[in-house]
């Protein structure tokens, strides 16, 4: 298992969050924590998640799969930032 | 224009170019059927919504356009689940329109309420539930655009009944296809360099080449480079079977030369394909010496199962055109072709006649291919007959073989043929079906008879769930648990069943009658025809790479492992 922290920008459309959560469960991704909040732009929400990946699955692959979701506008891997924050 | 949500729906479908809907009415979708009554859009009234979904898939694959199916809420919508999953796996552009209970009662377990959006989340590219009738034209345009652009796939539009009934004004939708991805010139150059320096390259071609309409470009690029081509189950027809550069289908039931080309290659040029387990076999043993160029419109496919040395995100047509432009000379592949040519000669596809004197199923399919020719469209169910249809029909053009590859959905052949025939009325359409599969969806023959859709069905009647039986033969010591169907004992009698469904029913049990029966079926043009080809039950699909083994263990026939023995 490898742990990753991702930050997504989602369109504020009904079902957007459900589609992300289903993607996690369909692809065998373990969700450790998840928080949704309005983004600066009113028509977008920001979703922060910490996920555990199965051995052999890469975060790059997961980011690309999230990128296929029509309501996802942007995905960034914050794993590194997190480590710095925790280390500080 | 003043109208209702329902009026806007039908008008929008007309405006985006929909010419046919496969569907069945019911309470929640009923408002939509009223304006449909006056529309120029043809509606084909199916006998089961699963048939509507597969028909939309068949239509889409025969025409290259978006297929449309429609169902009511609850059970109507859930009956579309299998075709949606199928279309998702095989990247088929369809739009499913479902009725929903009224907005005020959503979430109250109302009569025929099912949360179809949630149910289909993992098997749709996108979905909508419309709450304002004014949004309907835009949503329909977006649904068509999403279904057909990028990597195609199924899109669901869920419409609450009261939204359909509410008054609104119609604003024509704008259909703007998003631009195709811009290719990276660096990756194209890197790919061209790898191709130029490789000694044993192979084009590993998938269904994406058919979806992107890139068959011409593929032929040009293959002929320019002299590189061998293999076409996966989803890509049969993307490259002519008669072409000397073509080694056939790779994978679990692929040809020995096609599998060997992948296993011995030093370079795979993978185009619109996804390194599916049925092609790769045991992944760590797949193409062990090969560098990989992987071009796909979906970035998530690149390096998913096999790491790409050069990944190119783009439409296959653009990728091949760009490669053709930079590759100017042929490399010397004499040694490679000497090796492959030897395998082509030593291991052609072949079969034995059953010892009990019954018909060989492969022969029946071979003769249909010969007599119906490459201009016909062939659909298949799932099982042994499907693999034989992939092996023994000679495909020469894209879109001529329509089958359920990724999902492996039994019952696909008849409704898919119905959809294909609707989209291509001037072509002969043959459904190559199994006796098991046929019993899942044959009720759509009543639809075909009533609507004048003259498909031809060849039931490869081996009396069994043949593919499952094959595994029992090979891996379960011949313990045939629950695979005998009784169809050789006429449970049911397919000729009588065909007759009852309004079709011509024919039966053929002898080699001497095969050609005559096929020609008799082809002569019928006003009705569907069903031919019960009674064939031996013991035929096995060869070659075979057993599940969970590496491709080097491919068996040309039982106990014959050409690649494995080569290494010793
Ligand atoms: C809906 C569905 N149920 C079960 C299966 C498993 N399955 C795969 S092939 C097969 C047998 C198909 O029998 P038939 O249509 O007679 O084809 P044959 O293999 O005999 O040519 C079965 C049961 C499936 N693929 N799809
Ligand atoms: Mg059978």
3-class DSSP string for B19-69: CEEEECCCHHHHHHHHHHCCCCCEEEECCCHHHHHHHHHHHHHHHCCCEEE
* B161 tagged catalytic: yes
Question: What is the distance between the alpha carbons of residues B379 and B416, in angstroms, rounded to a whole number?
Answer: 7
Q: What is the CA radius of gyration of chain A?
A: 13
Instruction: Judge whether residue A85 has pLDDT over 80.
Output: no
Q: Is B431 in the pocket of ligand 1 (CB under 6 A)?
A: no
Verify whether the Cβ–Cβ distance A22 to B122 is below 8 Å.
yes
**What residues have CB less than 8 Å from A43, skipping those under 6 apart?**
A11, A12
Q: What is the pLDDT of residue A65?
A: 96
Question: What is the distance between the alpha carbons of residues B161 and B159, in angstroms, rounded to a whole number?
Answer: 6
Q: What is the pLDDT of residue A82?
A: 55
Provide the 10 A C-beta neighbour count for residue A25: 12
Confidence of residue A88 (pLDDT cuts 50, 70, 90): very low
Q: How far is B95 from chain A (nearest CA, A)?
A: 16
Q: What is the pLDDT of residue A86?
A: 47
Chain A, window 49-78: residues with a beta carbon less than 8 angstroms from a chain B beta carbon: 58, 60-61, 64-65, 67-68, 70
Residues forming CATH 3.40.50.970 domain(s) in chain B: 2-169, 361-534
What's domain A2-85's architecture? 2-Layer Sandwich (3.30)
Question: What is the distance between the alpha carbons of residues B248 and B518, in angstroms, rounded to a whole number?
Answer: 26
What CATH number has the domain spanning B361-534? 3.40.50.970
Closest CA to B100 of B86, B118, B114, B81: B114
Q: Is B191 in the pocket of ligand 1 (CB under 6 A)?
A: no
- How high is the mean pLDDT in each 10-residue block of chain B (568 residues)? 96 98 98 98 98 99 98 98 98 98 98 98 98 98 97 98 98 87 96 97 98 98 97 98 98 98 98 98 97 98 97 98 91 96 96 96 98 98 98 98 98 99 98 98 98 98 98 97 98 98 98 98 97 98 96 93 79
Q: What is the pLDDT of residue B392?
A: 98
Which residues of chain B neighbour A14 with C-beta distances below 8 Å? 129
ipTM above 0.90, yes or no: yes
Q: What is the pLDDT of residue B93?
A: 98
Q: Which atom number of ligand 1 is nearest to the Cα of residue B388?
A: 21
Closest in A19, A61, A67 to B121, CB measured: A19
Verify whether the Cβ–Cβ distance B300 to A26 is below 8 Å.
no
Which residue of chain B is at minimal alpha-carbon distance from A61? Answer: B300
Q: Which CATH number fits domain B185-346: 3.40.50.1220, 2.60.40.420, 3.30.70.20, 3.40.190.80?
A: 3.40.50.1220
Strands B291-296 and B310-313: parallel
Q: Answer for the pair B130, B160: CB distance below 8 angstroms, yes or no.
A: yes
H or E element in which residue B238 lies? none
The answer to whether the bond into B159 is cis (omega within 30° of 0) is no
* B263 tagged catalytic: no
**Domain assignments of chain A as residue spans, ordered by start:** 2-85
Q: Is B436 in the pocket of ligand 1 (CB under 6 A)?
A: yes
Most distant CA atoms of chain B, gap in Å: 78
Ligand 1, atom 2: closest residue by C-alpha: B410
- Which tokens in the block code for residue B299? 């970035």
Ligand 1, atom 24: closest residue by C-alpha: B410
Residues forming CATH 3.40.50.1220 domain(s) in chain B: 185-346
Count of alpha carbons within 13 Å of B168, Cβ hemisphere only? 22
B19, B112, B443, B511: the active-site residue: B112
Q: What is the pLDDT of residue B176?
A: 82
B24, B49, B129, B320: the active-site residue: B49
CATH C-level class of B2-169: alpha beta
Provide the 10 A C-beta neighbour count for residue A31: 13
């Amino acid at each position: 298992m490898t742990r990753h922290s991702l930050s997504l920008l989602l369109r504020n459309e009904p079902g957007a969050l459900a589609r992300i959560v289903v993607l996690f469960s369909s692809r065998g991704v373990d969700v450790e924590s998840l928080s949704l909040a309005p983004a600066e732009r009113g028509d977008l929400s920001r979703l922060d998640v910490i996920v555990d990946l199965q051995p052999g699955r890469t975060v790059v692959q997961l980011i690309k799969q999230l990128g296929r979701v029509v309501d996802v506008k942007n995905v960034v891997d914050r794993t590194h930032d997190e480590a710095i924050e925790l280390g500080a | 224009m003043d109208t209702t949500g329902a009026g806007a729906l039908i008008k929008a479908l007309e405006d985006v170019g929909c010419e046919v809907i496969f569907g069945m009415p019911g309470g929640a979708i009923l408002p939509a059927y009223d304006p449909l009554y006056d529309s120029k859009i043809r509606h084909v009234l199916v006998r089961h919504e699963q048939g509507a979904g597969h028909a939309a898939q068949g239509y889409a694959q025969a025409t290259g356009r978006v297929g449309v199916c429609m169902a009511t809420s609850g059970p109507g919508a859930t009956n579309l689940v299998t075709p949606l999953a199928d279309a998702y796996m095989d990247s088929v552009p369809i739009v499913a329109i479902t009725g929903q209970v009224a907005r005020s009662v959503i979430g109250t377990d109302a009569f025929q309420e099912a949360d179809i959006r949630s149910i289909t989340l993992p098997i749709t590219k996108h979905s909508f539930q419309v709450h304002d009738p004014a949004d309907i034209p835009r949503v329909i345009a977006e649904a068509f655009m999403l279904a057909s652009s990028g990597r195609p796939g199924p899109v669901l539009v869920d419409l609450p009944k009261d939204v359909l009934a509410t008054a609104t004004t119609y604003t024509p939708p704008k259909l703007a296809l998003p631009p195709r991805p811009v290719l990276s010139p660096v990756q194209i150059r890197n790919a061209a360099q790898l191709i130029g320096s490789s000694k044993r390259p192979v084009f590993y071609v998938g269904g994406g080449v058919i979806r992107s309409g890139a068959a011409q470009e593929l032929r040009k690029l293959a002929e320019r480079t002299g590189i061998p081509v293999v076409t996966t189950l989803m890509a049969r027809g993307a490259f002519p079977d008669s072409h000397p550069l073509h080694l056939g289908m790779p994978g679990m039931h692929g040809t020995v030369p096609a599998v060997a080309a992948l296993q011995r290659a030093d370079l795979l040029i993978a185009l619109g394909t996804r390194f599916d387990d049925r092609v790769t076999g045991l992944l760590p043993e797949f193409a062990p010496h090969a560098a990989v160029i992987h071009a796909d419109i979906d970035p998530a496919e690149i390096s998913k199962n096999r790491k790409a040395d050069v990944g190119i995100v783009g439409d296959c047509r653009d990728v091949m055109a760009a490669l053709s432009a930079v590759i100017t000379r042929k490399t010397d592949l004499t040694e490679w072709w000497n090796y492959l040519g030897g395998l082509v000669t030593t291991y052609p596809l072949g079969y034995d006649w059953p010892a009990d004197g019954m018909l060989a199923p492969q022969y029946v399919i071979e003769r249909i291919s010969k007599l119906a020719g490459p201009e016909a469209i062939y659909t298949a169910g799932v099982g042994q007959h499907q693999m034989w249809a992939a092996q023994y029909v000679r495909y020469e053009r894209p879109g001529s073989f329509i089958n359920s590859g990724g999902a492996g959905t039994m019952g696909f052949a008849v409704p898919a043929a119905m959809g294909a025939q609707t989209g291509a009325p001037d072509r002969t359409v043959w459904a190559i079906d199994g006796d098991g599969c046929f019993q899942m969806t044959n009720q759509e023959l009543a639809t075909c008879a009533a609507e004048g859709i003259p498909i031809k069905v060849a039931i490869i009647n081996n009396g069994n769930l043949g593919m499952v039986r094959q595994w029992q033969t090979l891996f379960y010591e011949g313990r045939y648990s629950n695979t005998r169907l009784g169809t050789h004992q006429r449970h049911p009698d397919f000729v009588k069943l065909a007759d009852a469904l309004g079709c011509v029913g024919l039966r053929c049990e002898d080699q001497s009658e095969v050609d005559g029966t096929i020609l008799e079926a082809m002569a019928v043009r006003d009705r569907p025809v069903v031919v019960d080809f009674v064939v031996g039950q013991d035929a096995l699909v060869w070659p075979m790479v057993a599940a969970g083994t590496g491709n080097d263990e491919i068996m040309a026939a039982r106990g014959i492992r050409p690649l494995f023995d080569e290494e010793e």
